[in-house]
């Protein structure tokens, strides 16, 4: 399926492929969530990184992009980068750098101190926002979210973790990650919200019923 004719949803994955910039976009990975939980007494086994690596590999194999864009929140802990996180981030980027030519990471609200990890890599760029052709990528946590429409026809954000909640009469409830797209207040400008790539993100329900 394609959104606005140019943004292809990579089948069964929370990822977009954009042909004109030959890039794959994903967002909200929240590495290190398990370690953080374990510290508070919720002894959750780690599995995210392994699965995420496998899935990204599959996506890259299918689309063969030049760039990978991550729209923010690679890591989970705000206040610092814990040892466990640092290890996971290193393992993650080490893995990615062999798969694509260039990695652009947009800084999310969880990504404080991430620069200390990314600066070690030539291929990796950490930015507040990035504009490629007429598309601007930002994380989306900033309150004043305004991108001039002369500059960008499209905005792609993460942060929101949109999901559809489906309930049936027998009491079975499921939340399914989803893409959102629509218009911004700027003239002729469209926005796409990506679902989280994290396996553990609780989706924000976007539907009423």
Partner 1 sequence: MGKEIPEVRSLVRTGDTSSYQRQKMLKKPPHILITTPETLGIILNAPKFREKLRDIKYVITDEIHSLCSNKRGVHLSLSLERLQKLCDEGGNEYNGQLTRIGLSATQAPIKEIAKYLVGYKNVAEKKPRKCKIVDVAASKQMNLEVKSPVQDLIHTPPKEVNESMYEEIDKLIKKHRTTLIFTNTRAATERVVKNLKEKDQNYYEGEIGAHHSSMSREKRLNVEENLKKGNLKVAVTSTSLELGIDIGYIDLVLQLSSPKGVARAIQRIGRSGHKLHDTAKGRIMVMERDDALECTEMVRCAENDELDRVRIPKNCLDVLAQQIVGMACNKKWRAKEAYITVKKSYNYIDLSKKDFVKTLEYVAGEHASLEDQHVYGKIWIDENEGGEKIFGKRGKMTRVIYMTNIGTIPDESAYKVHTRNKKFVGTLDEGFLDRLTKGDIFVHGGDTYQYRYTRGMKVYVDRAPNRKPTVPSWYSEMLPLSYDLGRKIGKLNSEIQRKLKENEDVKQWIRKKYPVNENTVTSIESYLKEQYQFVGKIPTDKEILIEKNRSRDGERLNLVFHTIYGRRVNDALCRIFAHILSKQITSNIGIVVDDHGFVLKTPIGIDVDKIIEEAIEGDMRQMLKESVRKTQLMKRRFRHVASRALMILRNYKGNKKSVGKQQMKSHFLLAACKRLGEDFPIIKETYREIMEDHMDIEHAEQIIKEIEEGKTTYNVIETDTPSPFAHNLVIQSQSDVMKLEDKKKRLKQLHKEVLAKIEA
In the complex, least distance from residue 174 CB atom to partner 1, rounded to whole angstroms: 6
DSSP state of 169: T
Q: Which residue number, 12 or 40, has a Cβ lying nearer to partner 1? A: 40
Beta bridge partners of 164: 176
Residues 6+ apart with CB under 8 A from 151: 131, 134, 136
From the number of C-beta atoms within 10 Å of its C-beta (0-12, 13-18, 19+), residue 48 rates as buried
In the complex, least distance from residue 8 CB atom to partner 1, rounded to whole angstroms: 28
In the complex, least distance from residue 131 CB atom to partner 1, rounded to whole angstroms: 35
Alpha-carbon distance of 133 to 170, in angstroms, equals 49
In the complex, least distance from residue 78 CB atom to partner 1, rounded to whole angstroms: 17
Q: Which residue number, 19 or 202, has a Cβ lying nearer to partner 1? A: 202
Q: Which residue number, 143 or 169, has a Cβ lying nearer to partner 1? A: 169
In the complex, the residues that contact partner 1 under the rule CB under 8 A are: 33-35, 37-38, 40-47, 51, 165, 167-174, 199-200, 202, 205, 209
Q: Which residue number, 107 or 161, has a Cβ lying nearer to partner 1? A: 161
DSSP state of 187: T
Q: Which residue number, 142 or 167, has a Cβ lying nearer to partner 1? A: 167
In the complex, least distance from residue 45 CB atom to partner 1, rounded to whole angstroms: 5
CB 51 within 8 A of CB 84: no
Q: Which of 142, 135, 67, 145 is nearest to 108 (CA)?
A: 142
Alpha-carbon distance of 5 to 2, in angstroms, equals 5
């Amino acid at each position: 399926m394609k959104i606005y004719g140019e943004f292809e949803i990579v089948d069964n994955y929370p990822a977009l492929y954009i042909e004109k910039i030959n890039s794959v976009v994903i967002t909200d990975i929240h590495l290190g969530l398990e370690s953080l939980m374990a510290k508070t007494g919720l002894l959750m086994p780690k599995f995210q990184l392994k699965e995420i690596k496998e899935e990204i590999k599959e996506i890259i194999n299918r689309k063969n992009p030049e760039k990978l864009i991550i729209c923010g929140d690679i890591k989970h802990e705000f206040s610092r980068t814990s040892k466990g996180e640092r290890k996971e981030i290193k393992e993650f980027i080490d893995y990615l750098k062999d798969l694509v030519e260039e990695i652009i990471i947009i800084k999310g609200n969880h990504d404080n101190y991430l620069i200390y990890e990314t600066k070690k890599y030539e291929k990796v760029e950490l930015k507040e926002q990035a504009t490629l052709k007429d598309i601007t990528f930002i994380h989306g946590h900033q309150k004043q979210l305004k991108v001039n429409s002369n500059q960008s026809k499209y905005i792609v954000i993460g942060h929101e973790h949109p999901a559809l909640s489906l309930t049936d009469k027998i009491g079975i409830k499921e939340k399914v990650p989803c893409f959102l797209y629509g218009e911004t207040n700027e003239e002729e400008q469209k926005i796409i919200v990506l679902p989280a790539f994290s396996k553990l993100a609780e989706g924000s329900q976007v539907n009423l019923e």
